[in-house]
Amino acid sequence: MASTPLATRQIVAISVAGGLAFIAIVAWVFSLVLTGSTANPFAGKTLYVNPDSTAAQAASSASGDDATTFASIAAVPTATWLLPEQHATADIAAYVDSVADAADTQSAVPIFTVYGIPNRDCSNESAGGTTTEDYPNWVSAIANGLSGHEAVVILEPDSLGLSVSCGDGDQRVAEIATAIEKLQTNGTKNVAIYLDGGHSTWVGAEVQADLLNRAGVSKVRGFATNVSNFNATADEVTYAETVSSLTGDSHYVIDTGRNGNGTNGVWCNPDGRKLGDTPTAIDDGTAHDANLWIKNPGESDGSCNGGPAAGTWWAAGALALAAG
């Protein structure tokens, strides 16, 4: 067989190299589609303040100093929590779309906390959730509501961290992976997703990172820490930077809603806590994207230490947080 001329071989080599470079570029672009833009999704953005939050409702029905205090809490952007007990599969898409539409009219970005995984909270204070069969459908309906909107999603707080003590890690990893798949559609390319990242006084960073990696943190923006907890921001940054380093430098957000005084070791309606730093984007060269109010301050952690059922507005608790 005749040999290929040198010039032809060079052209072929250049073509192959160019083709490989093109494939690499396409893969990089595709990864951005999956995980979202490399830009901080909070940079230069206004976060949505939901006028129907529990704090806003409490302010409208209170009077005097209480009303003023509740209104000041209501004025801070907080996450809108999505629970199947409040919005079932048949109507949650319309609800999510209505909230996102309202945010769009204000040129603001809404934050949603998806909290409906089967056997939620491992039968603890926030027990509930969907059935195993309906969960993918419920999350798909949420994705339909998010379609065409810019938003942030905190996906299933406590689900991965709690799986260590509940002994259902494989199941939780699979459920979160499914939820990621359902949430990521062509219409939700502007939705930044953060998975459950535990917190600094709970599951160790190495264990939490392994759970995140198995669940698919590489496919989303990153993870959220300190959700519904009270740990000091500096402690959470130290913890989250370690988790980030073990998960491909994934980004993270910290819940600072109630951590103004740090933790006293009690997780359920502890005394002596204080509102934390208000939500803001972080630009300090680390993987830290933002501080957020994810757990709505003033809502109870559960029927403990004098509080009502989990998620219920608790006036006395709200006043105590504001007083610090």
CA–CA separation, 153 and 44 (whole Å): 18
Report the amino acid identity of residue 155: L
301 tagged catalytic? yes
158 tagged catalytic? yes
Sequence-distant (≥ 6) Cβ neighbours of residue 32 within 8 angstroms: 38
Q: Which of 158, 235, 255, 289 is catalytic?
A: 158
CB of 14 closer than 8 Å to CB of 44? no
Q: Tokens 């952690």, residue?
A: 301
121 tagged catalytic? yes
Sequence-distant (≥ 6) Cβ neighbours of residue 156 within 8 angstroms: 114, 115, 116, 117, 175, 176, 179, 195, 196
- The sign of the dihedral angle between the CA atoms of 57, 276, 299, 86 is positive
Q: Which of 196, 235, 289, 301 is catalytic?
A: 301
Tokens of 140: 């798909």
- The sign of the dihedral angle between the CA atoms of 121, 125, 131, 137 is negative
Helix (H, G, I), strand (E, B) or coil at 260: coil
Q: Which of 91, 101, 121, 283 is catalytic?
A: 121
Q: Tokens 């509501």, residue?
A: 145
Active site residues: 121, 158, 301
